[in-house]
Amino acid sequence: MKKNANKTYFDRVHSWGRISTISALCVLLMFPIAVTLYLDVSPSVTAILQGLLKLIPTYWTVAVVEVIVYTPMLGAGGTYLSFVTGNIANLKLPCAINAMEGAKVKANSEEGEVISTISIATSAIVTTIVLAIGIIAFAPFLTTFTNSALLKPAFAQVLPALFGALGAGYFIKHWRISFFPIIIMIIVLIFAPTMGASTLLFVGIVASVGGALFMYKKGLLDKVA
Evaluated on CA atoms 159, 161, 165, 171, the torsion sign reads positive
Q: Over range 84-97, report the average pLDDT.
A: 84
Task: Give 224's contacts (C-beta < 8 A, 6+ positions apart).
Answer: 174, 176, 177
Task: Give 166's contacts (C-beta < 8 A, 6+ positions apart).
Answer: 94, 97, 98
For residues 176 and 220, the answer to whether their CB atoms sit within 8 Å is yes
d(CA 202, CA 62): 10
Q: Over range 93-101, report the average pLDDT.
A: 87
Neighbours of 171 (CB within 10 A): 14
Task: Give 190's contacts (C-beta < 8 A, 6+ positions apart).
Answer: none
Tell me, what's the pLDDT at 129?
93
43: left (phi over 0), alpha (psi -120 to 50) or beta: beta
Tell me, what's the pLDDT at 13?
86
Q: Nearest 5 degrees, angle CA 208-CA 68-CA 65?
A: 90
Q: Over range 83-89, report the average pLDDT.
A: 84
Q: Over range 65-91, report the average pLDDT.
A: 85
Each residue of 164-193: pLDDT tens digit? 777 777 777 778 888 888 888 889 889 888
Neighbours of 116 (CB within 10 A): 30
pLDDT band at 22 (very low <50, low <70, confident <90, very high): very high
Least reliable range by pLDDT among 18-27, 83-92, 198-207: 198-207
Go through 82-91 and write b for each residue having 16 or more CB atoms within 10 A of its CB, e for each that does not: bbebeebbeb
Residues in the chain: 225
Smallest Cα–Cα separation from 199: which of 212, 211, 185, 187?
185
The domain limits of the chain are 174-225
Q: Over range 97-110, report the average pLDDT.
A: 85
For residues 77 and 17, the answer to whether their CB atoms sit within 8 Å is yes
Range list of H helices, 104-157 = 110-138, 142-147, 152-155
Distances (CA, A) of 45 to 26, 37, 136, 175: 20, 16, 40, 54
Tell me, what's the pLDDT at 19?
92
Task: Indicate if the pLDDT at residue 150 is higher than 70.
Answer: yes
Tell me, what's the pLDDT at 4?
52
Each residue of 192-209: pLDDT tens digit? 888 776 677 778 888 888
pLDDT band at 107 (very low <50, low <70, confident <90, very high): confident
